[in-house]
Structures are given as structure tokens and as C-alpha cells.
Structure 1
């Protein structure tokens, strides 16, 4: 009961902070960290006090459920569920992603082909709406429409204060097979087979993701959850996980290290800070080999402009940041990768198959159909007079042509009409009339495109 008492105290503080915000002022969360990659306009308005909403309230091992506060990170959640031999059904790749953030902003991981997206494990949630009301939404109560539209709403409908989620048994270890394919088309055929059979080459597949290093070097990493005690690899020290994909055909990790295998080097992006150089890595404290540390370094560079100075020294005319995750239908995967190799040329890229269990209007993927999330994160050299966002606009257009969707955690450049079509803003507006009649919260378009 102690967890519930603390939660009730935190909710009272949250509601008190709401009352302290002037009536005409916009409502925001007062938090210091973020996994978003888009700029935001600064405001002097006080934010909502969410400082006490970062923990696990209770775990029910028998029911395999957890009541979790919205600002709780997956790192903290996993630490507590593993004590009970359980894990969330889908654990996003980065430790400091919060449960509320993954639900309102769409998380994904290698179990998403089998179990969907993180919000599909949510059984009910308490949402602080734009009117200052705290409502409990479930798939079938009077707030069912809010429940359905909440994923991908990015705070435009309110903030998740408490979520009850389903858990699944945690294995002790994860056996990996890194299977190489000669093209995106070959990998897509393999994904289709795994989606249908739940297995590859006679062995069950519990989780699958992929890494495309070049047009003719594409790997699918097939994971099987096992309760063995085999020798395991450690990629939190001098060894680097993504490089092992090319070097080994099989591997074994503890379940804990498997869940955070991408976090240590922020997929492969730690190389931008020298953290993959053996000399630098030997001096880089292990506790600082984390995605949130690299994220802070990116923010610091944005403020001081060191990379811009170095580019001028090197004679680089200009750069555009290209940090995106997109979903395309499985049968369009090879088309997108071919176009991306030709027009953009960033490598590696991450591949993560998924399928949703039901319709979610704000991110309308066809239930049961297989899509592939394609993640690419970095910068590309552009002419000095290039139009801002030109590369990202070309990517958006290509994804749209292929009947795909783009996640909104990073910069977006869609015109209003296209954005409205893709993200059901008409449906969001109807819900905002009910739950935010004074328009205290920013709209999804304002957040994602106008960066307000």
C-alpha cells in the first residue's frame, strides 16, 4: 500500500501545480529530460509538477500486471519487474524512455512483431486532461475514445499519470542468431515467413530486429528466450554490440543485457563522440556509456556549436540533421531501402518488424498487417544554401508514397493538409472539444511541426 500512498501524494502535487498555472497560460510538463529530437519554444509559464510520478506503484505477479506512474523510466520498471521474473511485453531500446512517453509517443522493439507496440499492453490509464480533470480510460469504458486516440498524441490530449500494463515471463537468457541476407527483398521474405510461422529454420523466434549495413549486407537478429545458463557476452565494456552482428552468427545475452543492448552505444551513434575508439573507450567511464549521456552531449553541442566550428575548418558547406523512425508496409521495405541508399546514403539503418492488434486512429496502421520500422540517425552534408529540412522533406514524401507513416519524436515538415490526413487530427479535435474545451494544451500539429 505504500506505493499507492506515495502515488496519491504525487497526484495531489500534480493537481496543485495545475491550479497554480494562470488560466491563459499553456500547460506543459516541468521535466528536465527528454527523448525528443525536435526544438521547442521556451515559455516562462510554470509547468506541471511530475517529480513524484517516476516510480512503480505496485506489481501483481499472479495477474502479471504492473501499475506504473507515467514518468517512470523503463530502466526502473524493468529493474522492479525482473525481481518477480517478469518483463513488460515491449521494452523500448533506450533506458530513460518513460512508460507514459512510449505510450503517448509510440515505442517499439524486437518483440513488436509478436506483441505489438507498448501501448497495446496498457489495460487502463489515468489521464490528466486539458480541462484539469483526471479520468481513467480503458478500451471499453466511457473514455474509450480517449484511450484509443492517446497513442501518438504526444500530450495534445493530456498526460498519462498512471498506467496498468500487462507483463510476460522473463527468461534468464536470450539466444541470438544473426542471419545475413543479400538484399532488403530477401530480408522481407524472411520476415514474412517468421511472421507466419513464428520460427526460422526450425527454431522458434520470440523477437526479431535487423541491421542493414549496406544494400547487400542485411542482417536479421533472431532472438529466442531461454532459461539456460550458458556463457554470455558483455557489450557494456570494450566490445560493441552492433559490430558483433557482422562478426558472429550466434550469441547469448542475459535478458537484462539484451533489453539494453542498444543503449550502451546509442545503437551506433556513440561513434560521433569518439566512444568507439578503443583509446577513448578505455577512459570513458562505463556508467557514462548510456543514451541519455550522449543525448546531453548533443544538446550541449547545439548550444556551443563545436561541430559547426569543426565543419568550417574541414570545409563542410552545411549539414542537415536526419533523425527519423518510419514505418513502411513489409512489401515496400526493399523499395524504401533502395530509394534511401540512392538518395540519402546513411548507413547502418535499423529494421524492426511490427504488427498491431487493433486500430489506433492517430497512427493508422492496418491491424494484423506487417510493417517494418526503419530507423536512421545522424547528419548528411548539404549545400550551404540548402533549404532547411530539404532532406527530411524528401524522406517524408517517399514514406507517404509507399503508404507508410513517420514517428513524430523528431522534426516534421508536413504541410497541414497532409498531416491532417496522416494523423487523424479531425478525430483529435473532436476529443479536444470534450477534454480540453479551453485549448490549454498544444495541438499535435503545433507540437510536431511548429515545435510549440
Structure 2
């Protein structure tokens, strides 16, 4: 039964709605929203009221922009993108940051979009459940997982994060509140995935859950070539007994493919953790374990939440760049001493504030398996960035804004491997030209990039990768022209960068080591280090 406050909210906006294909409206109450939000009655009344009030406010602000024919952007209060943010005509959704209800019987969770992964996992583990796809960085949010492209080590089984969502509450760009799911407004449900919030504002998510084990039995399989690595990934992903598969390449001749099985038994294996300041960084630990084993696979047991967030400390391995920037020793003692600064929330804050993202290559590329070897040789020669991350992906049906690759002539989608290229751009390279060269190489190989990072395509080049007619039709149907387009959100004005006159303060901030210290200052002021300290998932 729907709460009276929710019914009131729908009556307020029901008179302004048009009964079109997006759902049946009865007595001023959206029936789609009734089904999505029925579980709210199991949540505490204050939580229901708070959510309804927040969404009503957001809807009203958006409607005001729509009536004034003004474009606007959404502020979530945090970001895991390396793009610079825009601060004009902002609609804030920062209050939508709660897990409203977890239903053990139906294995679902009703979650607001700004709930980060660590808080979500803490809430679901209390019921012996976890999301099928959990992004490795604790600060990535549920809404970010839907609106961005989030493919993780379980995505070879479950697909991108949006494939684990049952339905969404969304506020359209004219203020109307609707529901989208695989059966209702399905074009918006699938089209909005990866579209960076350019089709509507997500305000509530009905998320699938699966039974959680106590541990993950992880095995590190050594590989000695890129070809062997891709072959091993393809083999392991065909084995249904594995729950997780990803890989780390330390060089063209050294790496590890990591397989994981959910388990409640410890057996004879040791238990390894990665969240405490004294614990090793995951990628360094795997390399050390394989060196000790001298070429044999190594298996150990990891508490499940520790496994899910194993890459948080050090941000995979990009945290090492901070030591290199300051010329500071990189060893177990200094990593322990500076641990508060080396979790991903703090590193993202420092990266944005310091402006170092303008010199840092942070790219995830979806590469067809038959092109991985050639692509890795190119990145090694061009950038010399190591390690690289490998993550197998289950593709999304086209048309989509997610990365994809189509076989010419047949129209069939190719299997793709996410290759993560994250590191400093070599000082002898022009940063923009290096990125443009990379994008040209991607086009040559039929490779597509995640859109959270720096994107230097011009508009024509960008839309060659996607179905613009399909995307524009969704924008028209759901009256989303008040929101920026996907290209508007990702583009970087190269001409402005080259002609921009920098003031003294800006020049000082970009000067070594002042920019780095400024980034540290802003990270400390954010208080994000407290998020890692108070994490309760470490207790499971």
C-alpha cells in the first residue's frame, strides 16, 4: 500500500502529466511508481517522508528550469570521473543518499542514487545478500553505476551494473516523475544506462541482490604473454563455477588472471585482507605471491567485502603516482603512514583540486579480444604505462551508449575485454596530442572508451560511435532537451585550452609542488578519509 505522502506527491504532479505510453495514471497516482515504491511501506515512515519531500523539491526545481527554457545540470555531491565539472544552473540530488529498504525474501533493495557502494554493501550484508555487480571503488554510487558504464569482475556473468536493476524512479527534464523498467518505458530504462544522466534524473533504484558468501576463494594464475592472458580470460569466463574474473598485466611478459569463487569455507587456505593500513595493496600482493610460487597458481581466501573493495587502497595502482610526483619513497612504511590519503575518495578529491587530471591518462577501453595484443603493444610503446587492468565484459544490446563493437556485415556484437590504462602521460609527449593519437588508434582497432575520462573527439567523430538518431529520438520523447547531451558533458574545448590566458593564481596552482599540496589540502578539508575509517563492512 502506498503511503499517503507518496500519493500526495503524485496528485500534486498528476494534473500536469500526459497519459502517454510511459504508464497508466489512475486517480493522480502513477501505477508504475506504485509498483516500484510499494516497498517503501516497509521502511520507517520518516525515511518515506524524507524521500518523497526530496524528490518533490527536485521535481519543482527542474520544472522551473523547464518553464523558463533554461538548461541545467545535476550535482550528485561526488564524482569518480576525471572530467572537470560545470557549476551553473545546478540541480542538487545530494540528499538522496539512503538505502530505504532491503527485502530478504525478494532479494531486492530500494536505494537512492547517491548511496555509495560501501554503504550499500554494509546494508545488504546484514541480510546475507550483496549486489551481483559491485564497483571496486567504495565511493562510486548506485546512480553513477546506472548513468555511467560500470563493468566489474563479475560482469562477464551479470553484465554492466544497470543489468542488475529491476526498475527506476526518474524525474524527467520537465519535472514529471515516472518509472522505467525492462517492461515499462523500456526504451528510457535501457537508453539511459551509460547516458550520463542526459535523459532524466534518477531518484530511486530497485536493485537485484544475490546470496552473499562469507569469503571469496581467489586464485592467481600466472601468465607470461598478452595472448596467454586473453586466452585464459576467455577460458575462465566459459566456466560457470567462477563468480569473478579479472586480470593484471605487469608487462607484456608478466601478469596474473584472478579468478574468484564465492565460498563459506576456509579449508587450508590463509585469510587475506586488504583494507587496513598495515595490509598490502592488492596488485603488489598478487605479484609477490606469484613470485614466491615460481610460476604456479596461488589460492587464498578473502572475506567477501575485502574482495569487493580490494583495489580501493592505492586506487588499483595509480596511488603510486603521488609518491613519484613528490619524489617520496614508495614502500610498506610510507604506504602505512600515508594510508588516509591513499583511498580512492581522497585521491579523486586531490586529483580534481590539484588539476593533475590534465596530465594523467585515465582511460578504460573496451577492446575486441582479437585486437588486445596489438592494442597493448601500442600503449606500451606510446605511453609505457604499467600495470594494465583486464576485465571481461558481457555486452549490452545495441543501440546503447555503453562501449560496444559490431562485426561489419553480420551486425553481431564482438566479445570485448576492458583494458584499463591509468598512469602519468610521459613528459616528452604533448598531453592533448597524445590523447588524440590514442583516440585515432581506438577508431582504427574498433575500440571504444568509457566516457568518464578525458574525451577529445570532435562532435562528428563522437557520434560516429553511437546511434545519434536513436539517442535524439529519446531526448525528444522524454523532453530531455533541457539537459546537456552526452557529447556536451564529455567534450573538452581544445581551442579554449590552447588560447586560455592563465592568471597568476592559476599558474601557481599548476606549479610543482604547489598543485600537489593544494590537492592534499582540499582532500583533507573534504573529510573523505573518515569514510574509510568508519567502514563497517570490514567487520563482516
TM-score normalised by L of structure 1 = 0.88
- Residue number in structure 2 paired with 1:146: 188
C-alpha deviation, 1:27, in angstroms:
1.6
What stretches of structure 1 move > 6 A for 4+ residues in a row? none
Tell me which protein shows more strand as a share of its residues. 1
Partner deviation per Cα, 1:26-46 (whole Å, 9 max, x = no partner): 222234321111123432x3x
In structure 2, the CA distance between the partners of 1:211 and 1:54, relative to structure 1 (3 Å rule), is same
In structure 2, the CA distance between the partners of 1:360 and 1:88, relative to structure 1 (3 Å rule), is farther
Partner deviation per Cα, 1:82-140 (whole Å, 9 max, x = no partner): 11111111111111111111111111211011111100011111122222212111112
Judge which range, 343-352 or 355-364, deviates more. Answer: 355-364
Q: Does the aligned pair in 2 maintain the 1:13–1:49 contact within 8 Å?
A: no
- Residue number in structure 2 paired with 1:197: 239
Q: Distance in 1 between matches of 2:394 and 2:75?
A: 34
- Residue number in structure 2 paired with 1:253: 302
* Unaligned stretches of 5+ residues in structure 2: 1-42, 290-297, 324-328, 407-411, 497-540
1:281 paired to 2:335: yes
C-alpha deviation, 1:218, in angstroms:
2.1
Instruction: Trace 1:195-234 onto structure 2 (pairs within 5 A).
Output: 195-198=237-240, 204-229=241-266, 231-234=270-273
- Residue number in structure 2 paired with 1:342: 381
- Residue number in structure 1 paired with 2:446: 403
Q: Distance in 1 between matches of 2:167 and 2:353?
A: 38
Q: Distance in 1 between matches of 2:138 and 2:235?
A: 31
**Among candidates 164, 174, 187, match of residue 131 of structure 1:** 174
Instruction: Trace 1:49-448 onto structure 2 (pairs within 5 A).
Output: 49-141=92-184, 143-198=185-240, 204-229=241-266, 231-236=270-275, 237-238=277-278, 239-248=280-289, 249-274=298-323, 276-284=330-338, 286-302=339-355, 320-356=359-395, 358-363=397-402, 365=404, 369-383=414-428, 386=430, 388-436=431-479, 439-448=481-490
How many residues align? The count is: 426
In structure 2, the CA distance between the partners of 1:84 and 1:287, relative to structure 1 (3 Å rule), is farther
In structure 2, the CA distance between the partners of 1:159 and 1:412, relative to structure 1 (3 Å rule), is same
Q: Does the aligned pair in 2 maintain the 1:232–1:253 contact within 8 Å?
A: yes
Q: Does the aligned pair in 2 maintain the 1:363–1:423 contact within 8 Å?
A: no
Judge which range, 165-174 or 231-240, deviates more. Answer: 231-240
Q: Does the aligned pair in 1 maintain the 2:82–2:352 contact within 8 Å?
A: no
Q: Does the aligned pair in 2 maintain the 1:355–1:368 contact within 8 Å?
A: no
Q: Distance in 2 between matches of 1:369 and 1:78?
A: 32
Q: Secondary structure at the match of 1:5?
A: helix
RMSD of equivalent CA atoms: 2.3
In structure 2, the CA distance between the partners of 1:429 and 1:370, relative to structure 1 (3 Å rule), is same
Tell me which protein shows more helix as a share of its residues. 2
C-alpha deviation, 1:266, in angstroms:
0.7
Q: Distance in 1 between matches of 2:159 and 2:380?
A: 28
